[in-house]
Amino acid sequence: ADACDGAHVAVQEARAAAARAGAGADAADDAAIVAHYADKEFEYGFASTCKMVLPASELKGKKILDVCCRRGKGVFKLSSMTGNGGSVVGVDWSATHLTEARDRMERAWRDSGLARNNMEFRAAYPEDLIAAGIGTSTMDVVYVNSVNTLFFDIARALREFGRVLKPGGLFVFETVFADRERDEDVVAAARELGNCIQAAHTRQENEAWLAAAGFGEATVVESYAVEANRGFKPGSTVDVVPGDEDVRYEAVSLYVSKL
């Protein structure tokens, strides 16, 4: 199964690279994306925490995309909430995660009492959802869980989410805000560690990226303070980069509509 997934990823990457080359994109950028995500699964840090503050009443019958779905836990929850009339696609770059998600998929939809399987898992990077066959204006909802600060290119990924959402579609965005502008050397080092909290930027920077991607004003539906070394469960910690100990961080759940 791992070999099949690996081949699938390679094929999708080749197709995406060809499509972008035709559009005049820089092949070196494609290689940089592949290199950035190689051997990264962002586990056992805060990026593995799954709050999923969801507008349940708005998800029924919707077509939903879960970006960086890992082993599928979020997709299974979204599958139950959208029900028989909707569908969920989970995308991730990890062949290991996708294999495990697919192995658990049938039990998940049956445990939810659904009449049929309404989910699937595909290989793609956040910046390149075309590789997973996600068309323009095809999704009602996009969900991303606390990992965007570690993306290769945050602004580009947000533009992709805007591309695949239908006009008026909902972006459910869990992320982290820093209370001041950052030392980019510290941010870069935190990204290499996989520390999604210490890699955060300010609310203003995030709002600017969202606006450039075609989104409206964000509504904060939940927020709470987090420490830079917070891990994936209470009492667990992760490594941090020295140099900005005075920065404060806030985990937030946002609802943002595509204009």
> What are the pLDDT digits (tens) for 21-42?
444 445 668 889 999 999 888 8
| Domain 2-257 belongs in CATH node 3.40.50.150 | yes
Residue 104 backbone class (left: φ over 0; alpha: ψ -120 to 50; beta: rest): alpha
pLDDT profile of the chain (259 residues), mean per 10: 43 45 55 91 84 93 97 97 98 96 97 98 97 97 96 97 98 97 96 96 98 97 96 91 96 97
CB 80 within 8 A of CB 91: no
The pLDDT of residue 30 is: 84
CB 125 within 8 A of CB 131: yes
The pLDDT of residue 253 is: 96
User: If DSSP codes are grouped into helix, strand and coil, which group holds residue 186?
Assistant: helix
> Domain-by-domain residue ranges, the chain?
2-257
Distances (CA, A) of 46 to 70, 232, 253: 14, 5, 14
The pLDDT of residue 26 is: 53
The pLDDT of residue 39 is: 84
Instruction: Name the token pair of 118.
Output: 């309404």
pTM of the complete model? 0.88
User: Is 153 exposed, middle or buried (CB count within 10 Å of its CB: 0-12, 13-18, 19+)?
Assistant: middle
Name which of 68, 119, 76, 121 is nearest 93 in CA terms: 68
pLDDT in tens, 83-110: 999 999 999 999 999 999 999 999 999 9
Q: Spell 181-203 as b/e; 16+ CB within 10 A means b.
A: ebeeebbebbbeebbbbbbbbeb
